[in-house]
Amino acid sequence: MSLVDVSHLVKTFTRDGGMFRSGTRVAAVDDVTFAIEAGETFGLVGESGSGKTTTGRCILRLIEPSSGDVRFRGESVLAFSSRRMREARRDMQIVFQDPYSSLNPRMRARQIVEEPLLIHKLGARAARRDRVAELFRLVGLDPAHLDRYPHQFSGGQRQRIGLARALALNPSFVILDEPVSALDVSVQAQVVNLLMDLQQQLSLTYLFIAHDLRLVQHICNRVAVMYLGKIVEMGPTAALFASPQHAYTQALLSAIPVPDPDAPRQRIVLDPASVNRDAALKEVAAGHWAAL
């Protein structure tokens, strides 16, 4: 049994047609199926509008899926009552992209990290206090700064606070939605290292949503590539990067700027008309699937 099982997930949004036209339905996530094994980092990559963020939010039911199923430890998350869902979210957390807008500017760092404990009524005041300090140290922050407000921290530190909040309830599964893309280049590596350390230390399972393919290649065990709401290719990271099968994956990989002036460049341009949107995923090598 996988830790997270997503099957035939669909999310459609209705686009308002205006006064005289009926709205049109757009499938942001269009029949997406994948499984995440305990302990792994599963990468979900794609460009803006590919549906990767919506997929992540559907798993946590921050957005209600239109159809399909999401199972966590074998149980259907979509069948949960709102009370049961709240409980389940202790085990499934999310870290957002923008550490500037995802922290309440009027709350002190201490309150931000403590809030999940309060909501779930965990621990007495003293125990919570200790836990918050412990979390602060865990993410590499100085507990002496607990009473500061978000604006008094740098971007990297703010993302650490977001991570401490996500880890407060001891989750086993964390969705990382573009966790470093809003950070300065020179601090991205620090946060990436922290994420990798925490995963080992706390046996975390990650769903890593990103558009930075170099980073995905570095930290993910397996990757799924999304294009216009569908997974077009999925497989072990090394295999997928070494021999991309789908035309879109090939175009995407060939577009990554290489930080080496002498690197050979061969741009593969995707002809959108050549993509068969109805092709099903086929296994092209062990565990490596492509919609050809």
154 binds another protein (CB under 8 A): yes
Shortest distance in whole angstroms from residue 127 CB to another protein: 32
**Identified binder of another protein from the candidate list 187, 228, 239, 284, rule CB under 8 A:** 187
Shortest distance in whole angstroms from residue 265 CB to another protein: 7
**Identified binder of another protein from the candidate list 83, 125, 151, 267, rule CB under 8 A:** 267
Shortest distance in whole angstroms from residue 180 CB to another protein: 10
Nearer to another protein, 124 or 263 (CB): 263
Nearer to another protein, 5 or 177 (CB): 177
State how beta strands 222-227 and 41-45 pair: parallel
Shortest distance in whole angstroms from residue 52 CB to another protein: 12
CA distance 196 to 261: 30
Sheet with 173-177, side-by-side order of all strands: 92-95, 173-177, 205-210, 41-45, 222-227, 230-236, 288-291, 281-285
CA distance 49 to 269: 19
202 binds another protein (CB under 8 A): no
CA distance 11 to 54: 8
237 binds another protein (CB under 8 A): yes
264 binds another protein (CB under 8 A): no
Given a contact cutoff of 8 angstroms between Cβ atoms, the answer to whether 116 and 167 are in contact is no
Shortest distance in whole angstroms from residue 269 CB to another protein: 8
**Identified binder of another protein from the candidate list 1, 124, 201, 260, rule CB under 8 A:** 260
62 binds another protein (CB under 8 A): no
126: region left, alpha or beta (phi > 0 left; psi from -120 to 50 alpha): alpha
Nearer to another protein, 62 or 256 (CB): 256
190 binds another protein (CB under 8 A): yes
Amino acid 275 reads V
**Identified binder of another protein from the candidate list 35, 133, 270, 284, rule CB under 8 A:** 270
Q: Which uninterrupted H or E stretch holds 123? A: none
**Identified binder of another protein from the candidate list 124, 263, 280, 286, rule CB under 8 A:** 263
Closest CA to 54 of 209, 277, 212, 232: 209
Q: Which uninterrupted H or E stretch holds 206? A: strand 205-210
265 binds another protein (CB under 8 A): yes
SS3 of residue 99 by DSSP: coil
Q: Cβ-count burial of 132 within 10 angstroms (0-12 exposed, 13-18 middle, 19+ buried)?
A: buried
Shortest distance in whole angstroms from residue 188 CB to another protein: 7
Chain residues binding another protein by CB under 8 A are 47-48, 154-157, 184-190, 192-193, 196-197, 211, 213-215, 217-219, 237-238, 251-252, 254-263, 265, 267, 269-270
